[in-house]
Structure 1
Amino acid sequence: MDVDKLEVGSMVLDKRRDRVGEVMEVTTSWVYLRAFGGGREWVTALEDVEPVTVMARLRARVAAVNAERQRRP
């Protein structure tokens, strides 16, 4: 993926880990991602990310809402 097309806050698919993440930072070689809705950041190579489909974006948001509900008493 072209580094110019990635924006902080956008959602991408980490193909290597098969995980959707929110872009936190982009360098010329690396993309720093975090699970949508919070969580620990991870780093992946720029060539391992691609734009997410609408379905993958929805799935990530539902997972974040469900995780938040489980944290509440």
Structure 2
Amino acid sequence: MDVDKVEVGTMVLDKRRDRVGEVMDATASWVYLRAFGGGREWVTALEDVEPVGVHERLRARVAEVNAARQRRP
């Protein structure tokens, strides 16, 4: 993926980790991602990200809701 196409705030799939994240920053080689809805940031190589489709967005949202339910007392 081209660094010009990776915009802060967009959702991408980290193919190496099979994980959807929100772009927090991007350089010529690296993309800084954060889990949808918050969480710890991670870094991945630019070539390991791709735009997400509806399926991946829904999967990330379901994972966020499930995690929130597990945190409730």
* Code of the aligned partner of 1:65: V
SS of the residue aligned with 1:23?
strand
* Structure 1 runs of 4+ with >2 Å offset: none
1:60 aligns to what?
60
1:18 aligns to what?
18
1:25-40 → structure 2 map (5 Å cutoff) = 25-40=25-40
TM-score, structure 1 normalization: 0.92
SS of the residue aligned with 1:67?
helix
SS of the residue aligned with 1:38?
coil
TM-score, structure 2 normalization: 0.92
Distance 1:56 1:47 in 2: 18
2:70 aligns to what?
70
Count the aligned residue pairs. 73
Give RMSD over aligned pairs.
Answer: 0.9
SS of the residue aligned with 2:17?
coil
Identity %: 86
Distance 2:63 2:20 in 1: 11
SS of the residue aligned with 2:28?
coil
Gaps of 5+ in 2: none
